[in-house]
């Protein structure tokens, strides 16, 4: 994950999981965001969205999350959708959303998990606003945000966390923190994805994406050791050295194994 400037693209859609699935169903490999928007507009699947709202959703929300890597994320999600549970798929959407919105990624890592680790039971919009104010003062945005934008973004951050199950649902200024643990098959998908991208063992377990689930390197190694008992890979670690033998050789094979 990079340190690109924060943007306000969350306002085009928070978790919007159901809508994202509708667009994924319409999307085909090689299809551009404008082409997808045209098809979505004609599909009749978004009766509650104006043409302008739908376009913003496709261009500012869907495309950065699922098409930014040439559509590989979209292809993978479509392939995995028949074999994973809703909660597992929601976590993959959460990862894609955080990768496309660094402000959400950092909020989850620096505010949500800090509060969770400290034993706090709630998270407030005030805490979210303080996070955005600090980021604004530190120059994390391309242009300085107004007070109204800061206030809205604070609500978007807690609302998005609610959509993905980190906070309780509802329109509240103070939300209860919910237990949030990575699902086993999501961890397998994530580890294999990092491996396929060319990351060595150390980078696989050290990638900052695991921090979205409150995990450090030791947590990841322990999780992969536990999952190794299911036969997806072999994990050996001793004296700080780590070796992973990948028994699944392709995405197609992984999906077949999940489907069994």
**pLDDT (tens digit per residue) in 32-77:** 999 999 999 999 998 888 999 899 999 989 999 999 889 999 999 9
Q: Is residue 235 part of a domain?
A: yes
1, pLDDT greater than 50: no
Question: Where does the pLDDT of residue 15 fall: very low under 50, low under 70, confident under 90, or very high at 90 and above?
Answer: low
Q: Could you tell me the sign of the dihedral formed by the alpha carbons of 208, 161, 14, 124, in that order?
A: negative
Joined tokens for residue 208: 């900052």
Neighbour count for residue 134 (Cβ, 10 Å): 11
Cα torsion 60, 86, 79, 233: sign: positive
Confidence (pTM): 0.92
What range does the domain containing 201 cover?
Answer: 184-259
Bridge partners of 236, per DSSP, are: 243
Instruction: Examine the domain organization and report whether 213 and 165 are in the same domain.
Output: no
Residue 78 included in any domain: no
- pLDDT tens per residue across span 199-243: 888 899 999 999 999 999 999 999 999 999 988 999 988 777 889
Number of domains in the chain: 3
Same domain for 111 and 143, yes or no, is yes
Residue 135 predicted with pLDDT over 60:
yes
Whether 192 and 135 share a structural domain = no
CA distances from 12 to 23, 129, 202, 254 (A): 14, 19, 36, 33
Q: Looking at the domain assignment, is residue 164 inside a domain?
A: yes
Q: Is the pLDDT of residue 110 over 50?
A: yes
CATH code, domain with 228: 1.10.10
């Amino acid at each position: 994950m990079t340190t690109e400037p924060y943007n306000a693209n969350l306002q085009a859609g928070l978790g919007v999981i159901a809508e994202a699935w509708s667009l994924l169903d319409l999307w085909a490999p090689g299809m551009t965001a404008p082409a997808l928007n045209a098809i979505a507009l004609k599909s009749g699947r978004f009766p509650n969205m104006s043409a302008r709202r739908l376009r913003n959703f496709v261009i500012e929300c869907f495309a950065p999350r699922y098409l930014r890597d040439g559509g590989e994320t979209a292809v993978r999600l479509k392939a995995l959708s028949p074999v994973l549970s809703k909660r597992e798929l929601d976590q993959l959407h959460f990862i894609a959303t955080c990768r496309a919105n660094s402000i959400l990624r950092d909020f989850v890592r620096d505010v949500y998990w800090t509060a969770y680790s400290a034993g706090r039971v709630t998270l407030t919009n005030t805490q979210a606003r303080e996070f955005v104010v600090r980021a604004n003062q530190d120059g994390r945005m391309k242009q300085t945000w107004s007070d109204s934008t800061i206030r809205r973004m604070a609500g978007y951050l807690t609302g998005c966390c609610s959509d993905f199950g980190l906070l309780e649902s509802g329109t509240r200024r103070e939300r209860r923190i919910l237990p949030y643990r990575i699902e086993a098959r999501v961890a397998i998908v994530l580890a294999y994805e990092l491996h396929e991208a060319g990351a060595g063992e150390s980078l696989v377990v050290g990638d900052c994406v695991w921090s979205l689930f409150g995990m450090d390197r030791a947590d990841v190694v322990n999780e992969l050791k536990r999952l190794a008992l299911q036969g997806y890979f072999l994990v050996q670690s001793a004296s700080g050295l780590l070796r992973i033998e990948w028994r699944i050789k392709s995405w197609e094979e992984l999906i077949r194994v999940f489907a069994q």
